[in-house]
Amino acid sequence: MPGTKLITIERHILEQQARFPHATGEFTSLLYDIALAAKLISRETNRAGLANILGKAGTQNVQGEQQELLDVYANQIIVRMLNHTGRVCIMASEEDPDPIFIPATYKRGNYVVLFDPLDGSSNIDYNVSVGTIFSIHRHVTPDLYDCGLPDLLQPGRRLVAAGYIVYGSSTMMVYSAGNGVAGFTLDPSVGEFLLSHEEIRAPDNPKYYSVNQGYERFWLEAVRQYVKWITGMKEDEPRKALSARYIGSMVSDFHRNLIAGGIFLYPADTRDKARPMGKLRLNYECAPLAYIMEQAGGAASDGIHRILDIVPQSLHQRTPFFCGNKDLVAKMEEYFQHYNPEWVEALQERVQLVT
Ligand code: AHG
Ligand code: MN
Ligand code: MN
């Protein structure tokens, strides 16, 4: 615990706001609304079994994946919490194919919110930690009533804030508004997020690597060689082996690696020709986590490019994702250049970067 002070998330956000003398409080309130939505989702995930709401909703989301009931619930909570406050002009969610517009009866505000309401939801039935991820941009369309795709498709480097909530053995919210990374733990008895991790820094001495090793046969040579290297099995490049940890809920894998040090990998592979860009979504999964990792002193890449420099071309765009300790990410990039130059070239053609 930092010092003797007890600091709620509200107080922390307000103190951050004091750094900007012209701030109106709109952004502060938006972050607080997200924290409130997180408390409701946390309550529901905690009693999922009791409330008999486990299982599939019977519908599919835009990626053709089964929607879990809690996916649908979490999505609705976030939309209903944010769409009427006059702080947001447009939103997008993993669970909705199209942008989420603000109903005409409500005022619009300056912020654009993208989110994955429940990350790792295929794990819910097994009582494994899941999470929520969010990105916040400022609108770029001059008239708030004309906001649309250009507001949603901004590169990660323009993020105003990003964060995640992990519903684990305790519920934690971690966010950055461009001034480092702070983490808060929910005290469920009083319903407050209390500052528990004041300045999160990615440790220089990493411990873990996280990748779905079950797909090894589909990996590109660079990834295969990299995992050999990271587990200390390359005779020409000896190193201390990292331990493997893979939950299959990215928020949880990311959170552990952020605190303990390491690298998370979700590469593109040769398994599915229709998905040459891997599985994870750029705008509401990878960019926000990349932002937090950079704010904590780490790095995030698609194997060649900095994730935050990628200009999204579509809402649900996918990207390969390598995120964690700076040196480990740089080494992955080096391996792609060395072992799969043809893939590097193909990716360069697909990806548009900030100029
Ligand atoms: P979501 O539940 O939002 O669809 O995301 C699941 C993601 C991510 O959390 C996790 O890292 C990855 O899927 C796991 O995929 P594999 O089972 O292919 O490893
Ligand atoms: Mn997800
Ligand atoms: Mn999800």
Phi, psi values for residue 108, rounded to 5°? -115, 150
Rg (CA), the chain: 20
Instruction: Report the run of H or E that residue 182 belongs to, with start and end.
Output: strand 182-187
Residue nearest to atom 16 of ligand 1 (CA): 248
Instruction: Report the run of H or E that residue 39 belongs to, with start and end.
Output: helix 26-46
pLDDT at 4 over 90: no
What pLDDT score was predicted for residue 330?
Answer: 98
Question: Do 248 and 139 share a structural domain?
Answer: no
For 160-200, write each residue's pLDDT tens digit: 999 999 999 999 999 999 999 999 999 999 999 999 999 99
The pTM assigned to this predicted structure is 0.95
CB-ligand 1 contact for 94 (6 Å cutoff): yes
50-56: long-range contacts, CB 8 A cutoff, minimum separation 24: 54/124, 54/125, 55/125
Question: Do 189 and 98 share a structural domain?
Answer: yes
For residue 232, which amino acid is it?
Answer: G
Residue 63: pLDDT band (50, 70, 90) is confident
Instruction: Report the run of H or E that residue 343 belongs to, with start and end.
Output: helix 341-350
Residue 67: pLDDT band (50, 70, 90) is low
pLDDT at 340 over 60: yes
Please report whether residue 239 resides in a domain: yes
27 CB neighbour count, 10 Å cutoff: 22
pLDDT at 64 over 90: no
Ligand nearest to the CA of 281: 2
Question: Do 178 and 86 share a structural domain?
Answer: yes
Whichever domain contains 139, its CATH number is: 3.30.540.10
Residue 60: pLDDT band (50, 70, 90) is confident
Please report whether residue 355 resides in a domain: no
Question: Do 281 and 226 share a structural domain?
Answer: yes
What is the C-alpha to C-alpha distance for residues 81 and 98, in angstroms, rounded to an integer? 19
Residue nearest to atom 14 of ligand 1 (CA): 248
Residue with tokens 């599915």: 272
pLDDT at 273 over 60: yes
For residue 300, which amino acid is it?
Answer: A
What pLDDT score was predicted for residue 320?
Answer: 97
CB-ligand 1 contact for 252 (6 Å cutoff): no
